[in-house]
Amino acid sequence: MTQQNTLQHDTNFLFEMGNIRYIDRMWRRFYTRDFANLAEHHFRMFWIAMVIAAHEKNVDTGRVAKLVLVHDIAESRTGDVDYLARQYTERNEELAIQDMLAGTALKDEFVELWEEYENRTSLEAKIAKDADNLDVDFELVEQAVNGNPLKNNWQENRTFVAKQKLYTQTAKKLFDQLTDANPHSWHLEGRNRRNNGDWRK
């Protein structure tokens, strides 16, 4: 289906992107606490990817950013499918991305980027995928602090992913860092009233 490029198509696409905040990541069903939605996933994944890219060599960070932003947007049409449901569900993400971007000024570039991500044909695509995987582990650590047992229950799964599915050495080191990480260290150990402010008086 070929559509002539118009700003109306671009506008429709931008509204659709605003709605990805309503798309749940379905692994939340394994424990009913609040998990990040699809838009929130993209946001932290971007920053994880930027950290990985800063530690690796000869990386086009602009390309990494675009790969992160496009990597899961087809789920606006297909929904998310978790590791269990993948055994029973077929998704046509290629059709979804083609239809979403049809007639937009972004179509050619971002369909190509999506294909690059899906095929892991560049270091940048591998960094984006590493960030995608690690975002799960960051959230599991956060959830564990609040009493969610899923991190312990999934330890074997996540160790498998770290050893077999992460591409970069930086991503593997980040995974190891998360073993004993405290998600509250950023404010407990950072500059605050107690360690550097008026509470010291």
Structural domain contains residue 193: no
Q: Is 200 part of a structural domain of the chain?
A: no
pLDDT of 146 reads 87
Lowest-confidence region among 113-122, 163-172, 179-188: 179-188
- Number of domains the chain is built from: 1
d(CA 95, CA 108): 14
3-state secondary structure of 59: coil
The pLDDT value recorded for residue 3 is 65
Instruction: Tell whether 198 is covered by a domain.
Output: no
Mean pLDDT on 169-174: 98
Q: Is 134 inside a domain boundary? A: yes
Q: What is the pLDDT of residue 66?
A: 98
CATH code (residue 126): 1.10.3210.10
Confidence category of residue 153, pLDDT binned at 50, 70, 90: very high
Are 74 and 114 within 8 A, CB to CB?
A: yes
**Which residues, in sequence order, are bridge partners of residue 24?**
37
With beta carbons less than 8 A apart as the criterion, state whether 176 and 58 touch.
Answer: no
Q: Assess if residue 2 is contained within a domain.
A: no
Six-digit token string for 43: 């946001």
In a domain, 191, yes or no: no
Note the pLDDT tens digit of each residue in 41-69: 999 999 999 999 999 999 999 999 999 99
Residues ≥6 apart with Cβ < 8 Å to 80: 23, 24, 25, 26, 27, 38, 72
And the tokens for 191? 């500059």
Instruction: Tell me the average pLDDT of the chain.
Output: 93
Is residue 192 in some structural domain? no
- DSSP E strand stretches across 5-47: none
Give the residue among 15, 28, 39, 22 at the shortest CA–CA distance from 104.
Answer: 15
Share of the chain above pLDDT 70, in %: 97
Of 91 and 5, the structure prediction assigns the larger pLDDT to 91
pLDDT exceeds 60 at position 160: yes
Q: What is the pLDDT of residue 32?
A: 65
Is 55 within the bounds of a domain? yes
Distance CA 148, CA 171 (A): 24
Residue 131 to residues 35, 58, 171, Cα–Cα distance (Å): 17, 17, 8
**Does residue 147 register a pLDDT over 80?**
yes
**pLDDT reported for residue 2:** 58
Phi, psi of 24 (to 5 degrees): -80, 145
Reply yes or no on whether the pLDDT at 1 is more than 80. Answer: no
Structural domain that includes position 122? 7-185
Region 71-90: mean pLDDT is 90
pLDDT score of 21 = 95
- For residue 113, the model assigns a pLDDT of 98
pLDDT higher at 4 or 103 = 103
